[in-house]
């Protein structure tokens, strides 16, 4: 069935370093991808999205890269801060008005001072 | 604050009981989605409503049902509860073009934590 998976369940980084969180997706028909951040006790928070007609998109301190050839997404966080500690999920969907998101398993990012 | 509200925040109930979870979408969003988050299953899509009509179904059990009202708020009804139904239930909303041109980001509420004992 459709699935979105993550390579690393836990990522520990030093404050100030750059973080890279990876995600693989399996549905080649997916054309819209989103990264969410979930802090303890809260709902997923939208970080950044990318459509399949792009291979890179930048936000504030975050960059998403999309490689459709190998069905791979990554989220890069520059100058990681303690407030970035959370679980990060990638999600995929296919345009069609239904917008059902398929979520990956999640990666926990732990930022150490 | 995403603009999506959910009540109650916490719910503790016994097996066999029925509960109703409520969601109010962001102002202007016509589409509402329900997701279940459990430790062993991650975030799973349950069901989507658009402007009062069911649009898509995911891994939603027969014991679960939902509806979206004319004021666009939505309710998720869970009946004959089992221990395994204990989870976080999230509602999300988005604008969505049902003519299939684009998908849009979904904004999530804070969730309802359901504990079945």
Question: What digits encode the pLDDT tens for the residues A49-59?
Answer: 999 999 999 99
How far apart CA B64 and CA B87 sit, in angstroms, is 14
Is the bond preceding B8 in cis, omega lying within 30 degrees of 0?
A: yes
**pLDDT score of B1 more than 60:** yes
Structure token digits, residue A60: 């504030």
Confirm if A90 and A75 have CB atoms less than 8 A apart. yes
Q: Quick one: closest CA in B to A46, which residue?
A: B107
pLDDT digits (tens, 9 = 90+) for A9-37: 889 999 999 999 999 998 888 988 999 99
CB contact under 8 A, A43 and B2: yes
Q: What percent of chain B has pLDDT over 90?
A: 74
Residue of B43, B48, B49, B112 best to disrupt the A interface, most CBs of A under 10 A: B43
What's the mean pLDDT in B47-66? 92
Name the phi and psi angles at A78, rounded to 5. -85, 145
Q: How far is the alpha carbon of B116 from chain A, nearest alpha carbon, in Å?
A: 18
Q: Which of A43, A49, A95 sits opposite B101 (nearest CB)?
A: A95
Q: Which of A43, A45, A99 sits opposite B94 (nearest CB)?
A: A99
Number of A–B residue contacts, CB under 8 Å: 77
Chain A residues with at least one Cβ partner in B under 8 Å: 31-32, 34, 36, 42-46, 49, 89, 91, 93-106
Q: Quick one: closest CA in A to B54, which residue?
A: A98
pLDDT on residue A8 = 45
Q: What percent of chain A has pLDDT over 70?
A: 89
What's the mean pLDDT in B64-77? 97
pLDDT on residue B104 = 73
Indicate the SS3 state at residue B89.
strand
Compute the CA torsion angle B23, B25, B31, B35 (nearest 10 deg).
Answer: -40
How far apart CA B113 and CA A18 sit, in angstroms, is 33
Indicate the SS3 state at residue A54.
coil
């Amino acid at each position: 069935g459709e699935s979105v998976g993550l390579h690393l369940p836990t990522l520990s980084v030093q404050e100030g370093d750059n973080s890279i969180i990876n995600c693989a997706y399996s549905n080649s028909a997916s054309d819209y991808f989103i990264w969410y951040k979930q802090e303890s006790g809260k709902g997923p928070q939208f970080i950044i999205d990318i459509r399949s007609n792009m291979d890179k998109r930048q936000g504030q301190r975050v960059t998403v890269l999309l490689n459709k050839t190998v069905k791979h997404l990554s989220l890069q966080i520059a100058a990681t801060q303690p407030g970035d500690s959370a679980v990060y999920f990638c999600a995929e969907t296919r345009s069609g008005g239904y917008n059902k998101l398929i979520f990956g398993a999640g990666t926990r990012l732990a930022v150490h001072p | 604050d995403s603009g999506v509200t959910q009540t109650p925040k916490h719910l503790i109930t016994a097996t066999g009981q029925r509960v109703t979870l409520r969601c109010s979408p962001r102002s202007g969003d016509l589409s509402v989605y329900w997701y279940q988050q459990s430790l062993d299953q991650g975030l799973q899509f349950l069901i989507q409503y658009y402007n009062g009509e069911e649009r898509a179904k995911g891994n939603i059990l027969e014991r679960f049902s939902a509806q979206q009202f004319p004021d666009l708020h939505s309710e998720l009804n869970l009946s004959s509860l089992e221990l395994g139904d204990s989870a976080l239930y999230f509602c999300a909303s988005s604008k969505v073009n049902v003519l299939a041109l684009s998908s849009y980001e979904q904004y999530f509420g804070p969730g309802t934590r359901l504990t079945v004992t």
